[in-house]
Amino acid sequence: MRIGGALFALALTAAGTMGAIAQSKGVPIPDATRQYFQRQNCHNVYDMLVEQDRSGNRLNDADAGWAKIYEDNAGKAACPAPPPALAQRATNRTVYTAQGVSKIADYADKDDGAALYEIAFAGLTGKISEVNPEQAMNILKRAASVGDPSANYQLSQQYFAGNLGKPQDYAGGIPYLLKAAESGHIDALSQAGAVYANGIGVKKDMAKAFGYFRRAAEQGHVFGTYLAAQMANEGVGTKKDFALAYRLGRNLAEAGEPAGAIFAASALLQQKNVKENQDEILYWMDVAIREGDDTIKAQIGGIRPKVVSLFNKMNAPPEYRPRERKVCPMKTVCTVNHYSGLQQCTTNKDYWSDCDG
């Protein structure tokens, strides 16, 4: 069922107003500073096992056997891939034990990027005294030069923070940020989108910005998903795609972001079969009003009567729920250490796809 031209124009006006509300000052948006990349590698696993053993918690035979291979390979062969359960336990661990640092240094001497990064990061964060900040920065640069994604991302942040000579040196840091992004580093992808969207240190390019936000969203980056939904809804950097904006908005809403419910309703209002979606439009507006802050309650509450006038009904059915979707798996993205071939993997909910995860 389609609605008449006058009502369709009203729907577009309401949709545009709601899209503006979702982006307006005072409306909560996803945390742009949240970090999603997870460091998992053999080196922080070994350091964890050393700590466990030194604390009197005896290693089981499997863990002890893996640690022995790690020690035997140090300085001679590639780092052994840790079992997934061990890698998970050591996620984002900063190495600090003397024995762990000593063995990791043997791998670092062979230009193992992950080993170089772990030592640099431990030095920069003050976890170890063997490496001072100046030495740590030099090791970080070396890790970046051999292609470690974490090192390239961290080095870009050092430039942006003005820790390498010039205050806020975006020109110096962006090449490292883009290297990290091209290797699949999820936080680098979102930040690369931001620099192109705002023209920070690069020529403004909304198409490139959308491409990076899309890749970040595909890995589950919530802020990247928010910006991709906004751009798809407005046709900025990509063609207008209301089905995509709706899907991304819905996923954001289900991740607890009220702005996502607004995007979902706005995108549905801009489709020509808007009356077929009337129940779901009102549903998402009500979600935004129910879960949003006072700003959202006031603004969406103000636009709701205009939307109601499209349908001549006050409420969605009490038991209404959006259509069922297929269940999709978590999405795992891996980067590969150039020296050892060891994979560092990140697993996140795939907010991009048309599924409920």
What domains are defined for the chain? 5-35+220-311 (no CATH), 42-192 (1.25.40.10)
Separation of alpha carbons 76 and 72, rounded Å: 8
Separation of alpha carbons 15 and 189, rounded Å: 29
- Residue 330, H or E segment: none
Count the Cβ atoms, other than its own, within 10 Å of residue 201.
18
Among 35, 28, 33, which residue's Cα sits nearest to residue 257? Answer: 28
Please report how many Cα atoms fall inside a 13 Å half-sphere around the Cα of residue 59, on the Cβ side. 19
Confidence of residue 100 (pLDDT cuts 50, 70, 90): very high
Cα–Cα distances in angstroms (integers) from residue 154 to residues 151, 220, 229, 296, in the given order: 5, 20, 28, 36
Confidence of residue 220 (pLDDT cuts 50, 70, 90): confident
Q: What is the mean pLDDT of residues 328-346?
A: 65
* Angle (nearest 5°) at CA 98 between 151 and 60: 95
* Angle (nearest 5°) at CA 288 between 283 and 291: 115
Q: What is the mean pLDDT of residues 245-257?
A: 89
Which amino acid, residue 144? A
Q: What is the pLDDT of residue 9?
A: 45
Would the pLDDT of 202 be above 60?
Answer: yes
Please report how many Cα atoms fall inside a 13 Å half-sphere around the Cα of residue 184, on the Cβ side. 17
Give the pLDDT confidence of 126-147 residue by residue, as tens digits. Answer: 999 999 999 999 999 999 999 9
Give the pLDDT confidence of 10-35 residue by residue, as tens digits. Answer: 444 545 555 555 555 555 788 889 99
